Amino acid sequence: MDRFALRDALDSRNMLAFLALIRAGEGTADADGYRRHFGGELFESFADHPRKAITKGRYTSTAAGAYQILQRTWDGLVRQWGFADFSPRCQDEAAVALIVGRGALDDVLAGRIEQAIAKCA
């Protein structure tokens, strides 16, 4: 699978609905979701993952963006898929790549949401 396949998957209504479901669960479904750090603060630049650890309550996390991707996860995705930045488009492709990595792509595309959630959980 290559980046073109990730982009093609984003043409699927089922994929877009699944990504919207994830964003709703992450609290990033609004217009600023692609710019949101863990805890709600917004970052400014899409040049790269913001690489900022934020502590809220008992938790510290580097999660950022629409899918709350951790810095270490993003770095692995960049190595594997070659994402050039942390733009909304690359975040969407990265989310699809993570779905692929969990073996849930066919389930998402076919609308087998319960199976896809089980594999991605």
Residues noted as catalytic: 26
Using CA atoms, how far apart are residues 24 and 58, in angstroms rounded to an integer?
A: 23
CB atoms within 10 A of CB 90: 24
| CA gap 68, 10 in Å, rounded | 18
